[in-house]
Structure 1
Amino acid sequence: MKHLFIILAYILMCNLGFSQKKEIKYYGANNKVVENKAAANYYLNIKRSKNGKTLCQKVVIKSNSEYEVEQWTVKSVNDSTISIKSQRKNLISRRFLKQDSLFVFWDLDNEGNIIQEGRSRAVFPLHLEGEVRKYYSSGQLKSTEVYENNQLLSNENWLENGDKYFNNIFYSVDIMPEYPGGEEQLRRHIATNINLLECVYKERIQGKVIIGFVITEEGSLEGLIVEKKVHSILDNEALRVIQDVSHKKWTPGILNDKKVKVKYSVPISFVLH
């Protein structure tokens, strides 16, 4: 009888502490909330536990396939703060304050620097409304963005050195820009045109460089930047390879039946064998 009581008590504690509320949110182009998977570009699989812990998976839908691209663990710190741990990024803290029907929020990195602030209908996941300001870790303003019902309407952008970048860049559109011959042709160009100096092999320099740029409404490639650096030699070589195709016209991106500027990123991996 004593053993039975212990087992029942253990089951009760598990149910109270670890029972989960599951929720799936679907999103289309430009983070528009949609009703089902058929209309979605990605979805968030959210599991909320009664112990204050939330697990969230971002799953991208592409060519009838699904693959997880990100996962977050969210924990309640107090009545006005949550912590968010990502697989790919450092831990951040989100402070929030309820104002009328919205939450004012501030995202801070692990050194206490504000990296994002604005208003949202929810604390997590965010459902943005109005102006959102983003910052580099140095404190330099990165962008001011305007949202309506979680959809980006407009933005102003700056480089980390303070120089002005392109305005009104979109990151998720109905039809993404396309390189002449398609993405496979772009990969082929990169693979066949990479040249590495002998010192790269001697010093065993390797890693993944990410090059960012904007495809304009006219299909021009503009605003080349190194988004993720590894080493100056690899960074410059990755820039050179993409610069070689900058004269080619892309098919512009489309959002709501209009051509728009689209931010595009290309990862280039340097792996020594």
Structure 2
Amino acid sequence: MKRTIPVIWLLAISILPGRGQEGTYYYGPNSRPVTRQAEAVMMKEVIKRSEGSYLMKTFRKAGDEWKPESRGKVRIASGGNQVIRLRENSFFPQRIVREMEPLGSGDYLFSEYVRESLVRTGTTSAVLPLHLEGTVTEYHPGGNVKSVSEYRDNQLMSNRNWLPDGSPYIDSVFYSADREPEYERGDAFFNGYLLQKLQNSGIDLSQIEDRVVIGWVVMETGQIEGVIILKGIARQLNNYLVETINELPGSWEPARLNGRPVRYFMSIPLNFTHREANFQEVDLSTGRLHYSKY
């Protein structure tokens, strides 16, 4: 499922279109390009370190602060392909190889690989950072198609989605909106409900040391559908959490994008470590699955 480098041909006395463009880029909800920082919810800084070498930092706005989200070292080869060492929520960076093929329209076809497995392919009108246009296809680690999305001016317009086993998931899901979903009973009720359910689960949490990420779609009707485990190895706990979220009482105020209610995918992490379940302070306002980090 929780939705952000031209090729270089060395020509005498000309601008090299394959290089990244230094500068600061601002994005509103749904990765919409904006010109003023005041309108932005995401910001990317591209810094040239040396010829063919760039540093790209991504920040996301939280209240009045800009919080770092990812940091990528980008090396652009003479043929235009890129090697990215992306650091997000882990000490160890992820290595991404991005192949770039120029199209006659001035756009570029890009294909991204992690550990030699294709993870994403699509069309971009810019090199660094990418500016998505047209169809973008993502793949699960096992090779099955994860999503086929349509973009216009870097904004997600629609998508079709599948689970890792190939079965269909919910379509037309957004990951960023002008107004995010709000649970009608509030964070405090959600936290208390989840805590009580886990305490009464009958599961020996003292034997579990795991980080579970659970996600769901808040539909345009305000109901929850498509509850899934995104990360977690304790099967009994995973199944119980899915059941618990499905039984969450009440409804949600749906997300709104461009003045209309939309389906919205959200996720929250739950950490279980040595007899302590770190879920008491779940904040639904930050429990989002963001995309377009590089």
Interval of TM-score (by shorter of Structure 1 and Structure 2): 0.7 to 0.9
Separation in 2, partners of 1:174, 1:184: 24
Query: In the alignment, residue 267 of structure 2 is paired with which amino acid?
Result: S
Separation in 2, partners of 1:22, 1:187: 43
Separation in 1, partners of 2:72, 2:175: 21
Q: Could you tell me the TM-score, scaled by structure 1's length?
A: 0.85
CA-CA distance at 1:199 after TM superposition: 4.7
Residue 268 (structure 2) aligned to one of 244, 266, 269: 266
Indicate whether 1:109 and 2:114 are aligned. Answer: yes
CA-CA distance at 1:188 after TM superposition: 3.5
Separation in 2, partners of 1:253, 1:149: 21
Residue 240 (structure 2) aligned to one of 232, 237, 240: 237
Separation in 1, partners of 2:94, 2:102: 26
CA-CA distance at 1:87 after TM superposition: 1.5
Alpha carbons of structure 1 residues 198 and 222: separation in structure 2 relative to 1, 3 Å = closer
Residue 135 (structure 1) aligned to one of 136, 139, 151: 139
- Cα deviation 1:17-40 (Å, max 9, x = unaligned): xxxx85111000110000111101
CA-CA distance at 1:69 after TM superposition: 1.6
Query: In the alignment, residue 112 of structure 2 is paired with which amino acid?
Result: D
Residue aligning to 1:176? 180
- Cα deviation 1:71-113 (Å, max 9, x = unaligned): 1111124413111112136211000011121010000111x11
CA-CA distance at 1:185 after TM superposition: 3.4
Mean alpha-carbon deviation: is it higher for 209-218 or for 230-239? 230-239
Q: Could you tell me the TM-score, scaled by structure 2's length?
A: 0.79
Please give the residue correspondences for 1:154-173 in structure 2 after superposition, counting only pairs within 5 Å: 154-173=158-177
Residue aligning to 2:223? 220
Mean alpha-carbon deviation: is it higher for 171-180 or for 72-81? 72-81
Residue aligning to 1:86? 86
Alpha carbons of structure 1 residues 85 and 159: separation in structure 2 relative to 1, 3 Å = same
Query: In the alignment, residue 136 of structure 1 is paired with which amino acid?
Result: H
SS in 2 for 1:167: coil
CA-CA distance at 1:197 after TM superposition: 5.1
Separation in 1, partners of 2:225, 2:158: 19
CA-CA distance at 1:150 after TM superposition: 0.3
SS in 2 for 1:91: strand
SS in 2 for 1:60: strand
Separation in 1, partners of 2:127, 2:274: 44
Unpaired runs of at least 5, structure 1: 1-20
Query: In the alignment, residue 139 of structure 1 is paired with which amino acid?
Result: G
Query: In the alignment, residue 62 of structure 1 is paired with which amino acid?
Result: A
Contact 2:218–2:225 (Cα < 8 Å) also in 1: yes
Contact 2:217–2:265 (Cα < 8 Å) also in 1: yes
Residue 190 (structure 2) aligned to one of 186, 201, 214: 186
CA RMSD of aligned residues (A): 2.0
Contact 1:176–1:252 (Cα < 8 Å) also in 2: yes
Q: Based on CA coordinates, which of the two structures has the bigger radius of gyration?
A: 1
Unpaired runs of at least 5, structure 2: 1-20, 276-294
Query: In the alignment, residue 96 of structure 2 is paired with which amino acid?
Result: I
CA-CA distance at 1:213 after TM superposition: 0.8
Residue aligning to 2:256? 254
Alpha carbons of structure 1 residues 65 and 188: separation in structure 2 relative to 1, 3 Å = farther
Aligned residues with identical type, % of pairs: 28
Separation in 1, partners of 2:205, 2:212: 14
Separation in 1, partners of 2:66, 2:48: 22
Query: Relative contact order (C-alpha < 8 Å, sep 6+): which is higher?
Result: 2
Mean alpha-carbon deviation: is it higher for 160-169 or for 49-58? 49-58
Residue aligning to 1:7? none
Residue 144 (structure 1) aligned to one of 142, 148, 169: 148
Query: In the alignment, residue 255 of structure 1 is paired with which amino acid?
Result: L
Separation in 1, partners of 2:186, 2:70: 26
Contact 2:205–2:272 (Cα < 8 Å) also in 1: no
Contact 1:209–1:238 (Cα < 8 Å) also in 2: no
Indicate the structure with greater helix content.
1
